[in-house]
Amino acid sequence: MLSIQNLHAGIEDKSIIKGIDLTINPGEVHAIMGPNGSGKSTLGYVLSGRDGYEVTEGSATLNGEDLLDMDIEERAVAGFFLAFQYPVEIPGVSNMVFMKEAVNAARDAKKQAPYTAGEFLKLAKEACKQVQLPLDFLKRGVNEGFSGGEKKRNEIMQMILLQPTICFLDETDSGLDIDALQTVANGVNSQRDANRSFVVVTHYQRLLDFIEPDFVHILADGKIVQSGDASLALKVEKEGYGFLGINYKEED
């Protein structure tokens, strides 16, 4: 479904992604780990089409279509979801109105009838309960005054409502206490099915106790330096990145 070949990308003149090959089949969960600054977030931004990132070599296709050729809305419609895509606060625009627009835009592009206000309210309430956010979050301004954990829960709610085919979840565990982590993981697990895949960027094995990955990849200096199964994450937890010969330096 998602096929990345020899991808090189960067920002301005700086090369960040330096030759990534990755195939993600329907239903698979891939975890990406790696030292700070290795290019994990950049990979998500490049795939989602964020402004300013330039692909210099290689390709990425989603279900055979050239993902890199699509604009950001087309990628969303094609089923690519990047959590953190909407991290901004939009005071005055309610979470619910914002999400209804996004979901209906995607439906419109697929020639599906838009949800009515009533239909969407029902779906949104269910999603809100699922991520254990109080229902008044639907009425609040987008991310306005949300805590870190509430933003993460909100992202998972967006994912549940948008029903993407591939979800790229960046730093899924940063700033989450154990309850929020469990809720986020439950949200992801509830959306796992044979047709939907996930890329989960994480620093900690802890998250992978809850979201069991099919594959784990270590990214270092813009390249995947090792791939394996879930046991690779356990090894990283125990030994750090030293065994890969990576000179790991804490940056942020």
**DSSP bridge pairs for 2:** 24, 62
Are 8 and 191 contacting, i.e. CB atoms less than 8 angstroms apart? no
Residue among 11, 105, 121, 123 that touches ligand ADP (CB under 6 A): 11
What binding mask, one character per residue, do residues 30-69 give for ligand ADP by CB under 6 A, x or -? Answer: ----x-xxxxxxx---------------------------
Of 41 and 48, the one with the shorter C-beta distance to ligand ADP is 41
For the bound state, the minimum distance from the C-beta of residue 225 to ligand ADP, rounded and expressed in Å, comes to 13
Of 161 and 219, the one with the shorter C-beta distance to ligand ADP is 219
Per DSSP bridges, beta strands 90-94 and 80-83 are: unpaired
How big is the chain by its Cα radius of gyration, in Å? 18
* Candidate ranges 11-19, 62-70, 97-105, 110-118; the one touching ligand ADP (CB under 6 A): 11-19
* DSSP E strand stretches across 12-89: 14-24, 29-33, 53-62, 65-66, 80-83
Of 18 and 107, the one with the shorter C-beta distance to ligand ADP is 18
Of 41 and 202, the one with the shorter C-beta distance to Mg ion is 41
The CA distance from 16 to 13, in Å, is: 10
> Contacts with ligand ADP in 141-170 (CB under 6 A)?
none
The CA distance from 136 to 57, in Å, is: 46
Give the footprint of ligand ADP on this chain (CB under 6 A). 11, 14, 16, 34, 36-42
